[in-house]
Structure 1
Amino acid sequence: MWPQGGVAAATLTLGFGALGIAGIGILTLAVHPTWLVRIVQTRQRRVLFLDQRREKHELLVALTLDDGPHRDITHELLDILEENHSKATWFLIGSNMDKCPEVVERIYKEGHEVGNHTMYDCASWRLSPEEFTAQLLATERRLEPFFRKGEDGKPWKWFRPGHGFYNREMIDLVEGYGYKLVLGSLYPLDTLFRNKGKLIAKYLLWRVHPGAIIVLHDREQQKIQTPEVLRVLLPELKRKGYSVVTIPELLKLQ
């Protein structure tokens, strides 16, 4: 187990049933209102929640998708992204990559970004530092061919902890391996719901802001919901003037 006293990300795992948009909104606002995320970002610069530099200048948002890849849902999500001229950063689980390497190839070839989401779908903070490191590096070995590089020749390496919780020791460890820990500023708690795609999309459109990092999930439980979210969300964002980009594009990395 990690030492006590770490910082918890704005993630909640509760067994709520179906809620309407008001319920989703109240629940998520209680977890991380945007004004609070801005304050946290200012004070915790080692973790990326949003890009405040974009907020007054450009209508850019980064879309992130956790827990893939999968043979069925991931292909559908990639089709929707292509149709809407949008890009995403995919935080991939190593054991899932082993089941469908061709899907990872497609993610890369179509210009998306990949990130490390550990080897298995588990809470990172519950792992011992030794087990956490082993999972991080095992996933990295699978991701290495797909890391994109900056002008300095160094790969961009993004990490999101399983179940969204982190502490300072975890940040120290991933930074030691060249990673930037990424969370987000718009997380509609989509893993708590099924078949609520249109409501989640409306909620995200209500709260969207330039420089936002959106967190959604590419997983079996949401294989109907997440495509529905994107089919509503992406055209509406475009209509509002937004571009949906990867994390490096949001940060204007070359």
Structure 2
Amino acid sequence: MFPNYIWDIASANKTIYLTFDDGPTPEITNWTLNTLNKFNAKATFFCIGNNIEKHPIIFQNILEEGHSIGNHTHNHIKGWKTKTEDYLANISKAQKIIHSKKNDSDNTINLFRPPYGKITTKQGNSLINKGYKIIMWDILSFDWDDKVSKETCLNNVIKKTTNGSIIVFHDSVKASKNLQYVLPKVLEHFSHLNYNFSAITF
């Protein structure tokens, strides 16, 4: 399904792609950056436009640490429940904020991840036609789910991750308890197996 979306990234080297949705968030994003830095790991942050506006310094911290940025809409809206023109406008609003903070040109390839993974075919095709790369995943950590224990969250990642996997975490308050337990252990585990942690770039 959805072959035009990116679910994993083939790599000749042992590479994992960590991604973080929903930030920047004062309570957890800087902790995430510090933890990644300890392992010389790069990641991709799918940011909410409204959160970038509220926390511009934290957003700059992400950029300064050398991570890549993706668009996660301006207000974390569901594609399935939003008219296509409204959905695209919301994404465009977030992208303008991202470009202004990054000093990007309009020719930059934009990364996008739909909140909740819910996007219609029409919405997806429209974004692809606008030059976006839609980044999905092959590993969900379920770090946001308070019914999922931190041990189960860790196992979700350790047991299923392979070379080229795109892993979804969240730098959000809701996910922080599980994330703070799981992320250091994931970084340590796969570092010992000689994996690299790379940002998604095209």
Per the normalisation by structure 1, the TM-score is 0.74
Q: 1:121 aligns with which of 73, 76, 92?
A: 76
Q: 1:146 aligns with which of 102, 108, 119?
A: 102
Q: Which residue of 2 is the match for residue 35 of structure 1?
A: none
Give the Cα separation in 2 of the matches to 1:131 and 1:185: 28
Unaligned runs of 5+ in 1: 1-39
Matched residue type, 1:177 = K
Spell out the pairing of 1:92-103 with structure 2 (5 A cutoff): 92-103=47-58
Give the Cα separation in 2 of the matches to 1:122 and 1:189: 19
Matched residue type, 2:8 = L
Q: 1:167 aligns with which of 120, 143, 166?
A: 120
Matched residue type, 2:178 = Q
Give the Cα separation in 2 of the matches to 1:168 and 1:143: 25
Spell out the pairing of 1:43-122 with structure 2 (5 A cutoff): 44-51=2-9, 53-54=10-11, 57-122=12-77
What displacement does 1:236 show? Answer: 0.6
Aligned length: 201
What displacement does 1:70 show? Answer: 0.7
Q: Which residue of 2 is the match for residue 237 of structure 1?
A: 190
Q: Give CA-to-partner distance per residue, 1:128-170, whole Å, 9 cap, x none.
A: 1121011111100111142778xxx931310011111223211
Matched residue type, 2:80 = W
Report which of the two structures shows the higher radius of gyration computed on alpha carbons: 1
Check the 8 A contact 2:145/2:175 in 1, yes or no. no
RMSD over equivalenced CA pairs, Å = 1.9
Q: Which residue of 2 is the match for residue 189 of structure 1?
A: 142
Q: Give CA-to-partner distance per residue, 1:43-79, whole Å, 9 cap, x none.
A: x43100012x32xx32101011101111120010001
What displacement does 1:124 show? Answer: 2.0
Question: Percent identity among equivalent residues?
Answer: 24
Spell out the pairing of 1:21-36 with structure 2 (5 A cutoff): none
User: Greater helix percent: which structure?
Assistant: 1
| SS of alignment partner, residue 45 of structure 2 | strand
Change (3 A) 1:195 1:45: closer
Unaligned runs of 5+ in 2: none
Q: Which residue of 2 is the match for residue 14 of structure 1?
A: none
Give the Cα separation in 2 of the matches to 1:65 and 1:129: 25
Give the Cα separation in 2 of the matches to 1:189 and 1:170: 25
| SS of alignment partner, residue 144 of structure 2 | helix
